[in-house]
C-alpha cells in the first residue's frame, strides 16, 4: 500500500523536474515567453558557420641570422600587392626585394586587408630553425588572424587547404547558437573539473593526516573531533560571510597579516576575488574548508574499524609506521574512502552555493562552473532552454564518474 | 632455539596491578600453557613477552638476551591472535609471506618456506584465496601458518581456539599439539579453558589475580593442587568443597559441618585437632559402592578406607558414557560422577563412598593445601 505514495512522490518531486528540464532544453523557453515551441537540439548545438584562426606565419627560412634580421627590419618599407590567381586573388608581401606569397582570397579587398594585417600589425620574430637556419615568423600576441566565416564543412576544408600559402598554425572556430559553441560553456566545463578535482585532491591531502592524528589517543581528542565538524554543520551562507571578509580586496585579513609580517609590500596585496588564479584558489579553499571534515570523519570511521589486533600483528610482523600505513591501513580504509570520495565528488561537481556567494562566477567567468553558468544563463539572463541544456550536461559526466567508482567498489568487495 | 625467562615482571594500568611481579621460566621447546579466569593477567603476561605491552618493572629474557625494551619485531617471536588478525585485503599467500617480505627475504626462499608451511597445514590449495573465502578453521590455520613462516624461536598463542565451534576446537587441539611435536619451537599458549590446558600443555601455569598459583605438569596439578583455587579450577565438574575441622579422637579424621565425621589417613595432623579446614574431594573420587572403583584407576589403598556418606540424589545429568549426579549430604550439596548404567534415580537415598586417599585439605584463609 505504501508503494503508491512512494511512486507519486518519485513522480512529482524527482521525475517531473528532471523530465521538465529535458523538455525545456528542447524548446525556445525564455523569460517572458508564454508559449514554448519545440526547436530541436539547437540549445545544445547549432552550428552557424566556421572560422579559421591562424597564427605564427612562417614568412621565410633563411640561412643566417643576419639575413633574417635584415628582412624583419625592412618590413616598414614593405608593401602588399595583390594579383589574380585563377578566379581568386593572391596577396604577396614585397619586402627587402623578396616576394612572399601570403594568402589567396575570393575577393581582392579581403586579400589586401589580411595581407596588410600580417605585414603591419603582427610581431615579426626571428626564430632558430632546424639545420642552423633562421625563420622570420609573424606572430599575433593578442588575437589570431581570422579567416571566414564559411558556411559549411566542405568550404572550411577547402579553404584550410588553399587560403594560406605560408606555413602557419591554424585552428577552426565553430560559431553557433548552441551551448557547445559557447566559449563560456567550454570555460565552465574546464572550471568545473578544475574546481572538483582541485578540491577533492586537497581534501584528501588534509583529511588523511587529520584522521590519522584524531585516531590516536590523546587528551582533548573528543573536543577536537567536535570542533572539526563545525565548518561542515554551519550554513554556508553564514560561514561564507567570514570568508568574504577574509578574501576582501581591501580589508583581507590574510593581506593584512602578510603586509604586517613584511612578507608582502602594501602595493602588491593579493586581490583574492579579482584575480583569475586567486579567485579559483579562493573558491577551492572555501570548499575544502567546508568539505574536509566530512572526508576526515569518513576516513576516521574507516580507521576505527580496523581491529587493534591487526595493527599489533603488523608490528610483530616487523612493519614500521610507514609500512603499516601503506600495506595495512590504506588498503583497509580504501573501500570506505572511495564511497566518501564518490559523495564528495558529486557535491563538488554540482556545488553552486560556495561559488555563487564568493565570486558569482567572476572575474570574467574565470570561476564560472556548470551550475552557476546554468543559473546565470537560464535564470538571470532568461534563456531557460539553454540553462536547462547546461544543467543536463552535468548528468552524463556524473553518470560516468559514478559508474567507474561503483565498478571499483565492486572489484574491491 | 629459545627459552623465555621472566624476572619479577610487573604490569600496572594506573593503580591496577594486572601482573604482580611474576617469575617464570619457559624452557626451550616447551609447550607452556598460561591458564586462569579472565582478568588473571595471563594475556597481559603474553603481550609483555610479545612486546605489545610495556613492562612496568622486571626483566624479560628470550634465549638469554634481554628484550624488555626491544620492539616486538626484534624479539624473535611470532604470535597467533584470538581473532586471527589476518589482513583481509591480502591473499593467504601474502598473509603468510608478509613478515618475510618486510624482512627482505629473497623471493625464491620466501616462496619455498610459505609452500612448505602450507603443506604442513594443508593450505596449499587455498593460497590464492582471501581470508573471507575461508572457513573459521582454515583462517585459524592461516594465522598459525603466518606465525610458523617466521621460524621464530618462540611462538605465542592468545586464546587461538576460542572463536571455533566445539568440534573444531577439539580437532585443532590435536593439530596444534602435533604441530608442536614437529616444529619444536618454544610455545606459550594462553587459554581460559582448563580442558585445553590439561590436554595440550607440557607444563601449566595457573594464574589468578596477577600472580602465579602453581606451575607443573598437568598430572602434578591434578594430583597435588597447591591451593583450593587450583583444585577448583582444574577438573570438570569441579572439586567439591566442604567446611570442617580436624578431629583427633579416637583417630584422626575431619568433622564436617552437619556432624559428618570422615576418617583421614593423616597421622601428621593428630596434634592439630580443632583446626578449621576446607575439605575437598573430586566428583570422580566418589562412588556408589564400597567395592566399586572410582574413575581413577587407583584401587583402594591401605592408607585410608573409603568413607560412607549417606546422601540423597537430587539431580541426574547424563553425559553419554558417564553421568553427573548432584547429591546432598548433611554437610551440603556436592557432585559426583558415575557410570550411566548405575541405575540410580533422582530422589533416591543412597550410601556414597568417598575415596579418602584422594581427599584434600586446604587452609580456609590462605587457601594453601595442608
Tens-digit pLDDT profile for residues A14-33: 888 888 888 888 888 887 77
Bridge partners, residue B17, by sequence: B12
Sorting pLDDT into bands at 50, 70 and 90, what band is B290?
low
Residue A391 vs residues A15, A238, A396, B70: alpha-carbon distances, Å: 15, 26, 10, 62
Tens-digit pLDDT profile for residues A282-326: 999 999 998 888 889 889 989 988 998 999 999 988 888 899 999
Return the H-helix or E-strand segment holding A70. helix A65-73
Total Cβ atoms within 10 A of residue A59: 25
- The chain B residues in contact with chain A (CB within 8 A) are 50-52, 71-73, 77-79, 81-83, 85-90, 98-99, 102-103, 146
Give the residue among B85, B170, B175, B162 at the shortest CA–CA distance from B131.
B85
Distance from CA of A318 to the nearest CA of B (A): 5
Pairing, β B16-26 against β A79-85? unpaired
Sorting pLDDT into bands at 50, 70 and 90, what band is A410?
confident
Residue A1 has pLDDT above 80, yes or no: no
Q: Which range has highest mean pLDDT (A149-163, A220-234, B188-202, B244-258)?
A: B188-202
Cell of residue A190, nine digits: 574546464
Bridge partners, residue B240, by sequence: B281
Give the residue among A82, A90, A357 at the shortest CA–CA distance from A241.
A357
CB contact under 8 A, A317 and B73: yes
Cell of residue B183, nine digits: 616444529
Contacts of A313 in chain B (CB under 8 A): 79, 81, 85
What does the alpha-carbon distance between residue B346 and residue A150 come to, in Å, rounded to a whole number? 111
Which pLDDT does position A179 carry in this prediction?
84
CB contact under 8 A, B89 and A315: no
Instruction: Please say whether the beta carbons of A405 and A338 come within 8 A.
Output: yes
Which pLDDT does position A215 carry in this prediction?
86
Tens-digit pLDDT profile for residues B24-75: 999 999 999 999 888 888 899 999 999 888 888 889 999 888 988 888 888 8
Which pLDDT does position B93 carry in this prediction?
92
Pairing, β B276-281 against β B240-247? antiparallel
User: DSSP letter string over A284-296?
Assistant: HHHHHHHHHHHHH
- Which residue's entry shows cell 584465496? B129
Contacts of A329 in chain B (CB under 8 A): none
Q: Long-range contacts made by residues A82-87, C-beta under 8 angstroms, separation at least 24? A: A82/A108, A82/A111, A82/A112, A82/A115
Contacts of A334 in chain B (CB under 8 A): 89
CB contact under 8 A, A307 and B83: yes
Contacts of B87 in chain A (CB under 8 A): 310, 314, 327-328, 331-332
User: DSSP letter string over B300-321?
Assistant: PPSS-PPEEEEEEEEEEEE-SS
What does the alpha-carbon distance between residue B106 and residue B237 come to, in Å, rounded to a whole number? 53
Instruction: Please say whether the beta carbons of B69 and B105 come within 8 A.
Output: no
What does the alpha-carbon distance between residue B190 and residue B206 come to, in Å, rounded to a whole number? 10
Pairing, β B240-247 against β B253-256? antiparallel
Which pLDDT does position A408 carry in this prediction?
80
CB contact under 8 A, B98 and A317: yes
Q: Which range has highest mean pLDDT (A66-75, A238-247, B93-102, B266-275)?
A: B93-102
Bridge partners, residue A55, by sequence: A169
Residue B300 has pLDDT above 50, yes or no: no
- Which residue's entry shows cell 633563411? A62
Among B74, B89, B188, most A C-beta atoms within 10 A, so best to mutate, is B89
The answer to whether the complex's ipTM is over 0.90 is no
| pLDDT (mean) for A132-158 | 81
Tens-digit pLDDT profile for residues A49-72: 888 888 888 888 888 888 888 878
What does the alpha-carbon distance between residue A329 and residue A314 come to, in Å, rounded to a whole number? 10
Instruction: Please say whether the beta carbons of B143 and B81 come within 8 A.
Output: yes
The dihedral over CA atoms of B264, B267, B268, B271, expressed in degrees to the nearest 10, equals 90
CB contact under 8 A, A316 and B82: no
Which pLDDT does position B296 carry in this prediction?
45
Q: pLDDT higher for A196 or B303?
A: A196
What does the alpha-carbon distance between residue A336 and residue A314 come to, in Å, rounded to a whole number? 21
Contacts of A323 in chain B (CB under 8 A): 102
Q: pLDDT higher for B270 or A391?
A: A391
* DSSP code at position A318: T
Which pLDDT does position B74 carry in this prediction?
87
Tens-digit pLDDT profile for residues B191-236: 988 888 898 889 999 999 889 999 999 999 998 999 999 999 988 8
Which pLDDT does position B302 carry in this prediction?
44
% residues pLDDT > 90 (chain B): 21
Residue B153 has pLDDT above 80, yes or no: yes
Helices (H) and strands (E) in chain B, counts: 8, 20
Distance from CA of A309 to the nearest CA of B (A): 6
Tens-digit pLDDT profile for residues B317-364: 888 888 899 999 888 899 998 887 767 888 888 888 888 888 889 988
Sorting pLDDT into bands at 50, 70 and 90, what band is A412?
low
Cell of residue A220, nine digits: 582533548
Residue B295 has pLDDT above 50, yes or no: no
CB contact under 8 A, A316 and B89: no
Cell of residue A185, nine digits: 560553456
% residues pLDDT > 70 (chain B): 95
Among A313, A318, A334, whose Cβ lies nearest the Cβ of B103?
A318
| Chain B residue with the nearest C-alpha to that of A312 | B52
Residue A286 CB burial class (10 angstroms; 0-12, 13-18, ≥19):
buried
What does the alpha-carbon distance between residue A201 and residue A285 come to, in Å, rounded to a whole number? 12
Q: pLDDT higher for A166 or B293?
A: A166
Q: What is the pTM of this model?
A: 0.72
- Mean pLDDT computed over every residue of chain B: 86
Total Cβ atoms within 10 A of residue A330: 14
All residues at 6 or more sequence positions from B343 whose CB lies less than 8 Å from its CB, including other chains: none
Residue A226 vs residues A291, A293, A298, B14: alpha-carbon distances, Å: 15, 10, 14, 27
Give the residue among B230, B220, B196, B176 at the shortest CA–CA distance from B362.
B230
- Rg over CA atoms, chain A: 30
CB contact under 8 A, A310 and B102: no
Instruction: Please say whether the beta carbons of A295 and A204 come within 8 A.
Output: yes
Residue B291 has pLDDT above 70, yes or no: no
Which pLDDT does position B215 carry in this prediction?
93
Among A305, A309, A313, most B C-beta atoms within 10 A, so best to mutate, is A313
Q: What are the strands, taking DSSP E only, across A235-349?
A: none
Q: pLDDT higher for B142 or B267?
A: B142
Which pLDDT does position B31 carry in this prediction?
92
Bridge partners, residue B264, by sequence: none
Residue B297 has pLDDT above 70, yes or no: no
Instruction: Please say whether the beta carbons of B233 and B325 come within 8 A.
Output: no
Sorting pLDDT into bands at 50, 70 and 90, what band is A413?
low
Which pLDDT does position A377 carry in this prediction?
87
3-state secondary structure of A102: strand
Q: How many CA atoms lie within 13 A of B279 on its CB side?
A: 25
CB contact under 8 A, B99 and A331: no
Among B50, B77, B102, whose Cβ lies nearest the Cβ of A323?
B102
Distance from CA of B41 to the nearest CA of A (A): 18
Q: Phi and psi for B148 in degrees, rounded to 5?
A: -65, -35
Amino acid at each position: 500500500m505504501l508503494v503508491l505514495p512512494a511512486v507519486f512522490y518519485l513522480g512529482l518531486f524527482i521525475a517531473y523536474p528532471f523530465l521538465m528540464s529535458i523538455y525545456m532544453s528542447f524548446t525556445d523557453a525564455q523569460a517572458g515567453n508564454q508559449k514554448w515551441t519545440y526547436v530541436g537540439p539547437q540549445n545544445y548545438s547549432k552550428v552557424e558557420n566556421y572560422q579559421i584562426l591562424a597564427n605564427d606565419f612562417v614568412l621565410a627560412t633563411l640561412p643566417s641570422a643576419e639575413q633574417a634580421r635584415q628582412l624583419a627590419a625592412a618590413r616598414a618599407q614593405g608593401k602588399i600587392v595583390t594579383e589574380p590567381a585563377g578566379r581568386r586573388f593572391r596577396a604577396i608581401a614585397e619586402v627587402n626585394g623578396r616576394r612572399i606569397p601570403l594568402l589567396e582570397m575570393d575577393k581582392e579587398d579581403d586579400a589586401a586587408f589580411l595581407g596588410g594585417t600580417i605585414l603591419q600589425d603582427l610581431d615579426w620574430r626571428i626564430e632558430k630553425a632546424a639545420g642552423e637556419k633562421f625563420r622570420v615568423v609573424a606572430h599575433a600576441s593578442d588575437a589570431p588572424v581570422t579567416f571566414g566565416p564559411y558556411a559549411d564543412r566542405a568550404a572550411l576544408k577547402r579553404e584550410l587547404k588553399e587560403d594560406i600559402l605560408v606555413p602557419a598554425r591554424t585552428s577552426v572556430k565553430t560559431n553557433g547558437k548552441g551551448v557547445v559553441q559557447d566559449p563560456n560553456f567550454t570555460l565552465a566545463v574546464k572550471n568545473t573539473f578544475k574546481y572538483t578535482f582541485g578540491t577533492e585532491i586537497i581534501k584528501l591531502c588534509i583529511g588523511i593526516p587529520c584522521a590519522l592524528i584524531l585516531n590516536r589517543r590523546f587528551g582533548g581528542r573528543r573536543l577536537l573531533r567536535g570542533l572539526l565538524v563545525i565548518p561542515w554543520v554551519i550554513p554556508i551562507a553564514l560561514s561564507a560571510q567570514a570568508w568574504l571578509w577574509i578574501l576582501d580586496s581591501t580589508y583581507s585579513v590574510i593581506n593584512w597579516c602578510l603586509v604586517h609580517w613584511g612578507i608582502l609590500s602594501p602595493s602588491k596585496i593579493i586581490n583574492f576575488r579579482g584575480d583569475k588564479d586567486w579567485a579559483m584558489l579562493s573558491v577551492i579553499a572555501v570548499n575544502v574548508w567546508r568539505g574536509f571534515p566530512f572526508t576526515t570523519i569518513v576516513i576516521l570511521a574507516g580507521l576505527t574499524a580496523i581491529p587493534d589486533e591487526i595493527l599489533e600483528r603488523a608490528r610483530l610482523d616487523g612493519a614500521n609506521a610507514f609500512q603499516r600505513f601503506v600495506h595495512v591501513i590504506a588498503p583497509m580504509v580504501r573501500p570506505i574512502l572511495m564511497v566518501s570520495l564518490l559523495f564528495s565528488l558529486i557535491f563538488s561537481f554540482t556545488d553552486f552555493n560556495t561559488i555563487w556567494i564568493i565570486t558569482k562566477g567572476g572575474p570574467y567567468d574565470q570561476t564560472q562552473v556548470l551550475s552557476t553558468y546554468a543559473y546565470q544563463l537560464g535564470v538571470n539572463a532568461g534563456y531557460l532552454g539553454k540553462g536547462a541544456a547546461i544543467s543536463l550536461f552535468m548528468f552524463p559526466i556524473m553518470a560516468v564518474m559514478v559508474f567507474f567508482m561503483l565498478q571499483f567498489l565492486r572489484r574491491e568487495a | 632455539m629459545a627459552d623465555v625467562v621472566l624476572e619479577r615482571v610487573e604490569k600496572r594500568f594506573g593503580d591496577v596491578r594486572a601482573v604482580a611481579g611474576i617469575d617464570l621460566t619457559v624452557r626451550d621447546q616447551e609447550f607452556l600453557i598460561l591458564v586462569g579466569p579472565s582478568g588473571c593477567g595471563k594475556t597481559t603476561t603474553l603481550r609483555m613477552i610479545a612486546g605489545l605491552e610495556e613492562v612496568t618493572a622486571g626483566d624479560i629474557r628470550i634465549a638469554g638476551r634481554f628484550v624488555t625494551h626491544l620492539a616486538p619485531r626484534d624479539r624473535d617471536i611470532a604470535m597467533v591472535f584470538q581473532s586471527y588478525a589476518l589482513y583481509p585485503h591480502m591473499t593467504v599467500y601474502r598473509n603468510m609471506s608478509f613478515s618475510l617480505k618486510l624482512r627482505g627475504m629473497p623471493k625464491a626462499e620466501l616462496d619455498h618456506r610459505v609452500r612448505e608451511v602450507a603443506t604442513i597445514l594443508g593450505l596449499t590449495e587455498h593460497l590464492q584465496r582471501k581470508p573471507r573465502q575461508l572457513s573459521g578453521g582454515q583462517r585459524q590455520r592461516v594465522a598459525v601458518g603466518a606465525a610458523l613462516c617466521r621460524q621464530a624461536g618462540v611462538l605465542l598463542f592468545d586464546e587461538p581456539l576460542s572463536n571455533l565451534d566445539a568440534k573444531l576446537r577439539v580437532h585443532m587441539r590435536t593439530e596444534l599439539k602435533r604441530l608442536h611435536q614437529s616444529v619444536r619451537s618454544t610455545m606459550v599458549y594462553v587459554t581460559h579453558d582448563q580442558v585445553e590446558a590439561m590436554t595440550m600443555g607440557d607444563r601449566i601455569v595457573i594464574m589468578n589475580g596477577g600472580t602465579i598459583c602453581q606451575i607443573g605438569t598437568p598430572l602434578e596439578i591434578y594430583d597435588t593442587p597447591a591451593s583450593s583455587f587450583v583444585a577448583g579450577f582444574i577438573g570438570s565438574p569441579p572439586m567439591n568443597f566442604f567446611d570442617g575441622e580436624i578431629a583427633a579422637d579416637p583417630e584422626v579424621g575431619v568433622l564436617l559441618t552437619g556432624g559428618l565425621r570422615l576418617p583421614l589417613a593423616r597421622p601428621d595432623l593428630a596434634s592439630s585437632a580443632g583446626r578449621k579446614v576446607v575439605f575437598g574431594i573430586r566428583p570422580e573420587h566418589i562412588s556408589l559402592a564400597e567395592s566399586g572403583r572410582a574413575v581413577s584407576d587407583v584401587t583402594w589403598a591401605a592408607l585410608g578406607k573409603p568413607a560412607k556418606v549417606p546422601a540423597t540424589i537430587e539431580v541426574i545429568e547424563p553425559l553419554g558414557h558417564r553421568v553427573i549426579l548432584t547429591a546432598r549430604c548433611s554437610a551440603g550439596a556436592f557432585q559426583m560422577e558415575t557410570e550411566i548404567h548405575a541405575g540410580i534415580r533422582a530422589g533416591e537415598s543412597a550410601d556414597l563412598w568417598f575415596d579418602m586417599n584422594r581427599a584434600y585439605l586446604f587452609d580456609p584463609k590462605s587457601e594453601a593445601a595442608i
